[in-house]
Chains A and B, each alone.
Chain A
Amino acid sequence: MSSDSDFTTEPKEYQHDDDGGPQPEKHCGHGRGGMGEEVARKEDKRFITGRGNYVDDIKKPGMLHCEIVRSPHAHARVENIDGSRAMDLDGVVAVLTADDLLEHDLATMPTLMDDTQDVLVNEKVKFQSQEVAAVIAEDRYTAKDGAEKVKVDYEVLDPVVDAAEALEDDAPLIREELDDQEDNHIFDWDTGDKEATEEAFAEADVTVTEQMEYQRLHPAPIETCGAVADWDPGNDKMTVHMTSQAPHAHRTLFSQVSGIPEHKVRIVSPDVGGGFGNKVPIYPGYVVAAAASYVLERPVKWIEERSENIQTTGFARDYDMTGEIAATEDGVIQGVKVDVLANHGAYNAAAQPSKFPAGFFNIFTGSYDIEAAYGSLTGVFTNTAPGGVAYRCSFRVTEAVYLIERMVKVLADELGVDPAEIRRRNFIPSDAFPYESATGWNYDSGDYEKALDKALEMADYESYREEQKRRIEEDADKLLGIGISSFTEIVGAGPGKQCDIAGIEMFDSADLRVNPTGNAVLRVGVQTQGQGHETTFAQIVAEELGMDVDNIVVEHGDTDTEPYGLGTYGSRSTPVAGAAAAVAARKVRDKAKSIAANELEAAEEDIQWDRQSGEFHVAGAPDRSITITEIAAGAYMNHPGSEEPGLEATNYYDPPEMTYPFGSYIVVVEVDRETGEVDFEKFVAVDDCGNRINPMIIEGQIHGGLAQGIGTAMLEHVTYDDNGNVTGGDFMNYLLPTANEIPNFETGHTVTPSPHHPIGAKGVGESPTVGSPPAIVNAVVDAMSHAGVTHVEMPMTPDRVWESLNEAGLALDPSQNVSFDFEGGQSEGPADD
């Protein structure tokens, strides 16, 4: 582990452990379920046996059900809402509109980008399926029947769904309620050094440019969003069980929106059936359920339907990007430029906590040592659902990685240099870390060439290159393409200086309490949605205290009991809350030392912690040892006079920097020249996330993320027609990959610890989603690049691929490569010459 860090923030107490910290590559397997061990997931028993507890499983006495009336139009003025026919139905309790919410000052809510979104439409609908009214009924079926009976009169307006068209002079004005808003333009942002970049381009031997769209996606967790709100008038307390990736942040926002004091708001996020960024924002449905419960003084449940989830909750991506690279004739990159048109939908509701309007998009120099970089970006309102959530990524790093990894391939093809070789010529050298990028990011550690070399070897790269050549020479009916992505990630949001939600800096927390009988409860401020926190965080504590992992339970998701945290997304849990867990455990260990001294009747300075055995012993007398279980008993039954009784510690951890996981993915595809269909031949993923806590969970994370990367590259797209109708808004039209679309993944790893993280870990969950789409697109392009193809847009539908084949003169008719030899029966001679 590097110790010559020059990070601006001083390393904190406990951040660097006095015994060098865990080094799982050396120490793993001391058998207590600590770092590096493949501990079976503690949470799986309840999931596999159907005993999970999701929001829709929660039933309360007297609970009502909420159904939302949504606009069929994308842009329309609401002239009148008549709920009387709904109220006539048996079982309908209330019909709520914006007017009702205005009475309680709940008609609007702030977005995470300081915009203001209607909870229920006040005056004007701005996207299809926007929330217009809500029907509250005794059961969910009646609520749905009632919603159909609410009569809404609309004056339909012209919509605009395309970001470029939205900027035209004659485009309809979407946000007329905003002061000073005369067009659909939201913001311009630029980053890097424009002048130096222009200079690099002017002097370059070669420049290449490519326009590419990162299409609108939806995170599409299997559990949709929902809430059960329960206002308790006896205690003036609001309890909301909801699908939340960030319960504490949501508590603060709920309190701000509702005016209920924060100590009287309890948010519980029970088991969450996938989040992927979808459950970071606050949605109108949550607020409506809470408002209805407050007004009616009964619990109210709201559960989204699938199509409501895809059509109205936070989308991801939707960046139209033009990239440019300037390089020497040897392929050394001297400058990179990017210009982006960002479709933000009807409200600026991007769920990203950085202090930059485009999140971490300015990481677009990627894994490469590029001196000059400049990016410009324009955000635009359109009549589409608001969003811009970080779908399994850190706030636009996915778009940035796609851009640079695609552009490097474009450059390689332009120069006729092997795409692996061109990466080698440009990687940030492993001895250059910590490294400051041209756009100001401090990379903690990396060894990019090592990961690439490993991936090339695992993929048997050279022999595929030969096979590719052979097929081209023989005019084979299936072409081979080999794609590489050597991505660098930026995760662990984040340092308070760079990241906050509603002003709250993005630290995270852990509270560790060791019981008298030697087991422990760790409470954390992050919220698992399938990441395996209940296991991995217990492993961190097991490692730091020499406890058995089975003796540690991890609790999360209830704001009444957990310490304040900012939630789980952007692979931040291990970098931030994982660090807090390690530091809290080290604080406990520190106190344990004095108890050990008391128990062993030795001086505290003579007590040594032995990571391998997980025990404390007297220096020079290993037999005089004591375990944490014995120490725990001592802490409660025989505490030394110098210490308080008990054995617990809390840590709030503000990371000094982001962490920078990386990896190299190699994808080999076969492209059918007759149909444009793409088949995966090989899929190698080498990841480096620093020190590894649970390799099995990491592999599971990689598999899931790669599947989502395949969905991105091949299948998924939220589409709209010109009238603003969502045409890709359900699972019949928004295509998720299944096991049949997923090839066998071959995973590998390298280990380059983060020098500033207490256990040297970096976070990994989003790497595969971020890193794989460019590898897949590069592979498909690579199959056709010998004929001049430079790009295929995602999702790479067969017709898009076939169009490229056709334009490049590569498309094939079945009759061109087959003949039929007659072989049956009495006829003379062959039927076919």
Chain B
Amino acid sequence: MKAAPFEHHEPTSLSKAVSLLESLDDPTILAGGQSLVPMLRFRLARPDTVVDINGIDELDYLDESDGYLKIGALARHADIEESDVVTENYGSFADAAPLVADPQIRNRGTIVGSIAQADPKGDWGSVLIAHDGEVVAEGPEGERVIPVDELFLLPYDTSLDENELITEARVPTPPEREGSAYHKLKRKTGDYAMAGVAARLRFDDDGTIADAGIGMTAVDITNARAADAEAHLEGERPSAELFQKAGELAAEQSNPESDEHGDASYKERMVNVLTQRALGDAAERAGVVKRRATP
């Protein structure tokens, strides 16, 4: 890699990182480097200073506490893949982790880094949307919590202040009778999604859908919420017809672009298919329905 010259800082505590971010001119944060390193290599990113947070041990955690799954800024995709807590209770996370990039990258790349990058093709933003998650940001003014719906503004642009960094992403621990899933269509291992859908369903005791969350990957300028589909699901009993309608509504709300990997109309169609598939998995994982093939 022949990056443009930059200054490299390696703080060992969060407070040092925050004061560095405040004192430096236009700093860039390096966590796993999953996106930043290729951009440096192409010289698309030309930061004067890079603040490497990999030495901040206090950010390296993944645990379930206080009613949340908490993902520290240095938790790697591989940590999610290997976590028993995630495997048991957080279906969409367990689905998404092995679909991110390839094993080498999953050993370095972080969930929080991916969210902060705000690439509409990133998988975690959609998962966070489906779970009504939030991020914790630390800056000179202290800590604040940003709900996911207020985080993504534009491609690669978030509502973070210049001097802030995300220290944690978190989602509520699912109650009984909740399930979630993530489906991703990609052309090969390591490739970005052509389309991806995260879905979460929580059921009332009578089997109606109490709460639905659907996040979409790579089909809009940011990770996007399929709000119409969510509204259509709530208060209804799960059925193939219901999920089909939700799929249609999600597809209508998506806004994909054609590229060399796929046509926009195809991607819209796939949002529909993936939404139906993810909803089916979510409902099944909630323990409410059993899926049966009807040839």
Residues of A contacting B295 in the complex (Cβ-Cβ under 8 angstroms): 474-477, 817
Bound CA span A735–B203, Å? 41
B189, B207, B239, B263: which contacts A825 (Cβ < 8 A)? B207
Confirm or deny: A798 has a beta carbon within 8 angstroms of a beta carbon on chain B.
yes
Chain B residues, Cβ within 8 Å of A477: 293, 295
Given A674-B273, A735-B187, A824-B203, are A814 and B262 neighbors across the interface (CB < 8 Å)? no
Counting CB contacts under 8 A, is B202 at the interface?
Answer: no
Interface residues of B in 194-221 (CB under 8 A from A): 194, 203, 205-207
Q: How many angstroms from the CA of A741 to the CA of B102 in the assembled complex? A: 12
* A230-B120 Cα distance, complex, nearest whole Å: 48
A799→B262 contact, CB < 8 A? yes
Contact of B239 among A727, A737, A832 (CB under 8 A): A832
Q: Could you tell me the distance in whole angstroms from the C-beta of B74 to the nearest C-beta in chain A?
A: 25
**Is B32 among interface residues, defined by CB-CB distance under 8 A?**
no
A814 touches B247 (CB 8 A): yes
Q: Which of A100-140 contact B (CB under 8 A)?
A: 140
Residue of A nearest to B102 (CB): A738
What's the least CB distance linking B100 to chain A, in Å?
13
Contacting pair B277 A822 (CB below 8 A): no
B293: which A residues are within 8 A, CB to CB? 477, 817-818
B226 at the interface (CB under 8 A from A): no
Contact assessment for B43 and A820 in the assembled complex, using a CB-CB cutoff below 8 Å: no
CB 8 Å contact bits of B237-252 with A (1 = contact, 0 = none): 1111101100100000
Shortest C-beta distance, B179 to chain A (Å), equals 10
A677 at the interface (CB under 8 A from B): yes
B280 touches A820 (CB 8 A): yes
Question: What total count of A-B pairs have CB within 8 Å?
Answer: 149
Binds B, one of A141-149, A250-258, A412-420, A566-574: A141-149
Query: Which residues of the other chain, A, contact B207 by a CB distance below 8 angstroms?
Result: 822, 824-825, 827, 831
Contact assessment for B289 and A715 in the assembled complex, using a CB-CB cutoff below 8 Å: no
A501 and B186 alpha carbons, distance in the complex (Å): 43
Asked whether, in the complex, the Cβ of A738 is within 8 Å of the Cβ of B194, the reply is: no
Contact B294 A675 (CB under 8 A): no
Contact status A832-B238, CB under 8 Å: yes
Query: Is residue B291 contacting chain A, with contact meaning CB distance below 8 A?
Result: yes
Hey, which chain B residues are within 8 Å of A67, CB to CB? Answer: 2
Residues of B within 8 A of A733 (CB): 260
Q: Are B280 and A818 in contact (CB under 8 A)?
A: yes
A728 contacts chain B at the CB level, 8 A cutoff: yes
**Inter-chain contact A822/B260, CB cutoff 8 Å:** no
Q: Which residue from chain A places its CB closest to the CB of B267 in the assembled complex?
A: A799
Q: Are A821 and B289 in contact (CB under 8 A)?
A: yes
Contacts A145-B5, A815-B241, A820-B290 given; does A798 touch B102 at CB 8 Å:
no
Give CA–CA (A674, B189) in the complex, Å: 20
A740 within 8 A of B: yes
Give the distance in Å from the alpha carbon of A732 to the alpha carbon of B119 in the complex: 15
Encode B22-43 as 1/0 by CB contact (under 8 A) with A.
Answer: 0000000000000000100011
Contact B240 A818, beta carbon cutoff 8 Å? yes
Q: Which of A715-730 contact B (CB under 8 A)?
A: 715, 717, 719, 727-728
A246 to chain B, nearest CB (A): 29
Q: Does A803 contact B (CB under 8 A)?
A: yes
Are A825 and B2 in contact, with the CB atoms below 8 A?
Answer: no
| Known interface pairs A736-B188, A815-B247, A824-B203; 14 further A-B residue pairs with C-beta atoms within 8 A, sorted by A's residue number | A307-B42, A715-B187, A715-B188, A738-B188, A738-B189, A798-B185, A813-B273, A814-B244, A819-B239, A819-B240, A820-B239, A822-B288, A824-B177, A831-B288
Contact surface of A with B, Cβ cutoff 8 Å: 67, 140-141, 144-145, 148, 305, 307, 474-477, 674-677, 714-715, 717, 719, 727-728, 732-733, 735-738, 740-741, 797-799, 802-803, 813-815, 817-827, 831-832
B residues within 8 Å of A by Cβ?
2, 4-5, 38, 42-43, 102, 177, 185, 187-192, 194, 203, 205-207, 237-241, 243-244, 247, 259-263, 266-267, 269-270, 272-273, 276-277, 280, 283-284, 286-295
Q: List 28 A-B contacts (CB under 8 A).
A: A67-B2, A475-B295, A477-B295, A735-B187, A735-B188, A738-B102, A740-B188, A797-B262, A813-B244, A813-B272, A813-B273, A814-B240, A814-B244, A814-B276, A817-B294, A817-B295, A818-B240, A819-B294, A820-B284, A822-B288, A823-B290, A824-B203, A824-B288, A824-B289, A825-B205, A826-B206, A831-B239, A832-B239
